[in-house]
Structure 1
Amino acid sequence: MAELAYLAGWKHHDLGQEGAAQRYYQVGYQLACEADPHGHAAWMMRALAHQALSLKQPHHCVDLVEGALTRGLGHVDGQTEALLYITHARAYAVTDEKSAAARALLAAEDALLRDDVPQPSYSRVSGPAAGSVASHTARTLTDLADLADHAGTEQQHRDALIRWDLKKYKRVHALTYADLGDSLAAQARADEAVAAWSQALTLMEGMTSDRTRKAITSLRSPLSVYQRRKVPGAVELARRARQALA
């Protein structure tokens, strides 16, 4: 039941219905505490922290994830532990605690290498842990704006694409291509950015998702600049973006 509540919460989050998502996550946390007050409860605390990060409301995120680690460490497998640590890294990054974010990134990488007990179903549902760690490492590097490690961000996005199966995780690929385009644009590689964004729009065709709409909307500003600079493909991509948002 806790896993079902998590799924319902994630679906509402993807549709932009954040109040309902939070309520389902909270119910999932309560159920997880009854079923497994260590690993599963820690996972649901992570879900609440992730939602807050997505909404750019980082208040108490560090406390939430530290609580999750306190509950989970010693009770979860390496893959799940890595997912807890990578969320810890993101929470530290958005609160501008650079050293702590770097330590959490290293802890996530170390945990991934641990091969011990099988990964439980509640954390397997989010997909391959290595892909999630790569994707969220890229977002952590993006949030650590002072570092401006756009090349590192690009590589993490490319690593994530390799680790996620395209047929099973089409939405993840679409959003990752959108983020990859952003990192390429930040490196003044306009042609490659347009190609990545174009791939993202192709994968998003037919999807109903608030997150994909937000990703498409975010393209409009850089594309207007690219159109003025006459970057090849920018005009057509802008037309496709308008059509997707219509």
Structure 2
Amino acid sequence: MSREPRGPNEKLGTILALAGISNAGLARRVNDLGSQRGLTLRYDKTSVARWVTKGMVPQGSAPHLIAAAISSKLGRPVPLHEIGLADTDPAPEVGLAFPRKVAHAVESATELYRLDSSPGKGIWQSLAGSFAVSAYATPVSRWLIRPADATVTRETERPREGGWGRVGHSDVSKLQEAAEEARRWDSKYGGGDWRSSMVPECLRTDAAPLLLGSYSDEVGRSLFRATAELTRLAGWMAFDTGQQEAAQRYYIQALRLAKAAADVPLGGYVLASMSLQATYRGFAEEGVDLAQAALERNRSLATARTMSFFHLVEARALAKANDAAGCGSALSAAEGWLERSRPGDGDPSWLSFYAYDRLAADAAECYSDLKLPGQVRRFTERALKEPTEEFVRSHGLRLVVAAVAELESGNLDAAVAVGARAVEVAGRISSARTTDYVRDLLHRLAPYGNEPLVKELQEQARPLLAAPA
């Protein structure tokens, strides 16, 4: 259904011509994007013609889906005003800004938090602006130029309605505890687990009022640090559940908050998360840039373990870019830095997951991308040596990588056996990313579909693949 006509929408017609998208093509893209969000849309070329020639405005999230479809084709964010649909709510620009002033940064972050409190609604569905790696350009540039604000002291005459007055260390400690708890649940159950989904709610109801209160520079730095960690976690969980648009917005705000915290390693960690997302979405070269930006700014600042992790993320991107030599150098650097790390180095709490088994697991993925199954098997054996209940999702991902390596080595029976273990683990968590890995494995096994063991695995995986995202 569409609203009343208001005259030709010349802006939409112009940008469709610029993007080289036909009316039928746009309709198909919008329907597909809607399907990904659980919506059943039946637009066709006639619908698009009405939008363009008569200025009819589709209702619901359709305007945002139109912007998403065009954004994907152009490779950059397309705001609604550029396609003549600026009078729809909410604005797709929310969460994409990286303000220079701290006060404006608070406004930008809290505006994002207010839009949503749980997956399946709010920004997760209504803000359908497509992921565009170019949206990271300005935030990264501004962070590289000046990764720390001079002061974050905030004094307000009276508490904002529903907010705090004077913020103290005890208030910040509650956010830090929430971040630690969320990290544990996310690793064990996946980004879609209901406990993990409480992070956006915590940002909206707990962190936002604190950011709008009064605080000294010392307390403010701690507040921004804790909120940045929670915001990055919200982005990571969105990424894990396939909500790439939401993840991008949370990452940008997390980087801005890390700047206010004057925490350069944390900012590097956000960049590493951006890098992994960009690489996963097929932008390997940009993934390399993001990882290397984290490395450059953290030289002589971050701990050895932190630098090791940043090099590992760099290796992941280089492998996707098919740069075997560069990937090998990055992996060697990651291993070297990790060997130099010591228990008393003061590693940040958000890096507690990182040890040699994670390095081995990611090295295996690197060699999988470089199509070197022998190396994959070598590193996967180490990565799977000591599986724990603490990192269930990681264990599932590693099993899929191991199954692919067995398949590429010509060991079909072993591939199916390991794949069955992976499907069992994937069924215990809520992670679209893990499901995607399983789906890729089954696609690789498709040529052997007549084999009884493969058929059995396909049946085992059916409920997992049929489950709603």
Shift of 1:151: 1.2
| TM-score normalised by length of structure 2 | 0.49
Distance 1:221 1:91 in 2: 23
Matched to 2:311, the amino acid is Y
Post-superposition CA distance 1:183-202 (Å, at most 9, x none): 10000001110110000111
Post-superposition CA distance 1:65-111 (Å, at most 9, x none): 22111111211112111110111122222223332222111100100
2:87 matched residue in structure 1: none
2:349 to 111, 116, 121: 121
Matched to 1:87, the amino acid is V
2:457 to 237, 242, 245: 237
* Structure 2 CA distance for partners of 1:90 and 1:215, relative to 1, 3 Å: closer
* Structure 2 CA distance for partners of 1:97 and 1:218, relative to 1, 3 Å: closer
Distance 1:199 1:209 in 2: 16
Distance 1:212 1:92 in 2: 22
Structure showing greater relative contact order (alpha-carbon pairs closer than 8 Å, 6 or more residues apart): 1
Shift of 1:55: 1.3
Distance 2:322 2:459 in 1: 37
Distance 1:106 1:169 in 2: 25
> Given the alignment of the two structures, is residue 24 of structure 1 paired with residue 244 of structure 2, yes or no?
no
1:155 to 362, 378, 398: 378
Distance 1:63 1:192 in 2: 37
Distance 1:115 1:245 in 2: 41
Distance 2:243 2:449 in 1: 34
2:323 matched residue in structure 1: 97
Shift of 1:37: 4.3
Distance 1:161 1:128 in 2: 14
1:67 matched residue in structure 2: 293
CA RMSD of aligned residues (A): 1.7
> Given the alignment of the two structures, is residue 224 of structure 1 paired with residue 446 of structure 2, yes or no?
yes
Distance 1:93 1:171 in 2: 22
CA contact (8 A) 1:89 1:140 kept: yes
Shift of 1:120: 0.6
Deviates more, 1:33-42 or 1:183-192: 33-42
Post-superposition CA distance 1:13-36 (Å, at most 9, x none): 111000101111111111112223
Matched to 1:225, the amino acid is P
Unaligned residue ranges in structure 2 (runs of 5+): 1-226
Shift of 1:138: 1.2
Unaligned residue ranges in structure 1 (runs of 5+): none
Matched to 1:195, the amino acid is A
| TM-score normalised by length of structure 1 | 0.90
Count of residue pairs brought into register by the alignment: 238
Percent pairwise identity: 29
